[in-house]
Amino acid sequence: MLITCPHCLTKNRVPNERATQDPVCGKCGQALLSGEVVELNDANFDAVVAGSELPVLVDFWAPWCGPCRQMAPQFAIAAQQLKGQVLLVKVNSDESPQLSQRFGIRSIPTLLQLQQGKELQRLSGALQAPQIVAWLR
């Protein structure tokens, strides 16, 4: 599968069976699927999301949003549980207004499941890690 490095934006080919084995970028050496949440913005979102053959779960959030801050640790736990299966990313809706407008984000937190840049489903409101994982499966 193809995975775009969120650090240097280089496309990497990773065999499916190695997705859970901590693959690294061939150019910069950074982890591709570390199980950590990746922060994206207007500048790098399309390269990373459209360039990944893995499903992507996007959390649109803002630092002033109480439910967003409450869900952040749960989102991180879900990222660990889904390591190598789904790429979990966060987009600060205040700092990335173009993405928020493009996806019609009206409330936060809002989760979008994307496959090669196309929206499959969305859900608004704070969730616990087990709910996030169950929603994706």
Catalytic residues, which ones? 65, 68
For residues 18 and 103, give the distance between their C-alpha atoms in angstroms, rounded to a whole number: 32
Residues 6+ apart with CB under 8 A from 137: none
Local structure of 16: helix, strand or coil: helix
